[in-house]
Amino acid sequence: MPSNETTPSSPAWHALAAEAVRTSLGTEPRTGLSREEVLLRRRRHGPNSLPHRRGRSLVLVFASQFQSPLIYLLFAAAAVAFFIGERKDAAVILVVVFVNAIIGALQEGRAERSLAALRQLAGLKSRVVRSGREEVVEAGDLVPGDILVLAAGDAVGSDARLLECAQFQTAEAALTGESLPVAKDPAPLGAETVLADRRNMVYAGTHATAGRALAAVVATGQHSEIGRIAAMAESTEGKKTPLELRVAQFGRTLVIAAIVVFLGVLGLGHLQGQSFAQIFMIAISQMVSMVPEGLPVAMTIALAVGVQRMARRRAIVRRLSAVETLGSTTLICSDKTGTLTKNEMTVTAIYLPGEPLIEVGGTGYEPKGDFRQGGTVVTAERSEGLRRLLEAAVLCNDATLSAPEEGAPRWRILGDPTEGALITAAAKAGIDAAR
């Protein structure tokens, strides 16, 4: 098949008719691309992976712990103490500095390893048509022009233009923040249609919740919408946190104060007629005594405790100083779905005709929790109304509940989040959807 596809970002794919999309990409829904053409396009467009900065090595993380005016001041104090013969004081200061660096490096290194592990989780699979046959491939191997075969529960591995679909819906919360499934239609749209309203497109990072569809891949890797977002995030310049700025200011103030004390002691000693050598040693000792050797360690330990508390809430903190910034935050302007919330629905109460409210325990999609009516535990075996309601919820349901596995350590659903909540409630009552 000829390779006449354009660059991934050139056309407004949502504004083209399906036939024009196929012609532009040089592909057909029934045959897809040949293996030779796939290899050619992969060399041209690169792998279907998101850009990211390489993580810092432990050596660089350790070295970064010394980049603080306060640490510079401690090193200077240690050098002066050693010079005037106070070697024990110098050793104590150096031990404190290196202990502080080790604690900080271990904590930040653990965060770097956690992020690296997340990137190395098993890749997504995609079903495609190639050389006239359906096959399952790694999402990272997708190229522009590939024909995706999508069904309820499938993850979308790249940006694609729908060619045909039947009652097809996708969950796009991860990209647009829309908490409800979006119904799709392959009909062309206006060129100015915004991303969230492009009903004839599917995007990497989303997943299908209902129906079936055929779609032609139009953008992969950094050219996809989520790839552009990732590129912007990676290119963002890091700024010093308020804590780092205050510590730097404190260090500068301390240096100025130490110099003033040093000169003041020298001046007073000279006025009193003391020898320069004697008063110089006294002035140096006063300067060293002003340095708060324990402050860096105390700060690092306090921040490390905050990092551990965040980790228990499943938040990875890469820089210790970010904990203080987050603790001082009074207003966060953020998309809700998928950021502040998980887009996981949970059944919390059930109403049955003529009966008191039934409260349902548990959160998320893990099938753990009981049913209580007026404080008394209720089971599906003893309550016919509850059993019949949950059985109906399972029978009128297209979602699938998946147990934790390697690469996916949490319970999750494939399909509509609301239907997932219903099937989870049934599982809590011991009703198996597979039966």
Active-site residues, by number, are: 335
Most distant CA pair in the chain, distance: 101
* 55 touches 116 (CB < 8 A): yes
Query: Which alpha helices (H) appear in 344-416, and where do they start and end?
Result: 384-395
3-class DSSP state of 226: helix
Residue 301 neighbours by CB under 8 Å, 6+ apart = 103
Contact 1, 147 (CB under 8 A): no
The residue whose two tokens read 């603790």 is: 327
Share in percent of the chain as helix, strand, coil (round to 5): 45, 15, 40
- Sheet of strand 358-360: strand arrangement: 349-350, 358-360, 371-373, 376-378
Helices first, then strands: H and E counts in the chain = 13, 13
The residue with tokens 């409210």 is: 357
Rounded to an integer, what distance in angstroms lies between the CA atom of residue 297 and that of residue 300? Answer: 5
**280-314: string of b/e by CB count within 10 Å (b at 16+)?**
bebbbbebbeebebebbbebbbebbebbeebeeee
Read off the amino acid at residue 353.
P
As a whole number of angstroms, the distance between CA 162 and CA 172 comes to: 15
Structure-token pair, residue 378: 């209720």
> For residues 423 and 398, is the Cβ–Cβ distance under 8 A?
no
Give the side-chain half-sphere CA count within 13 A for 355.
Answer: 16
Tokens of 36: 């030779």
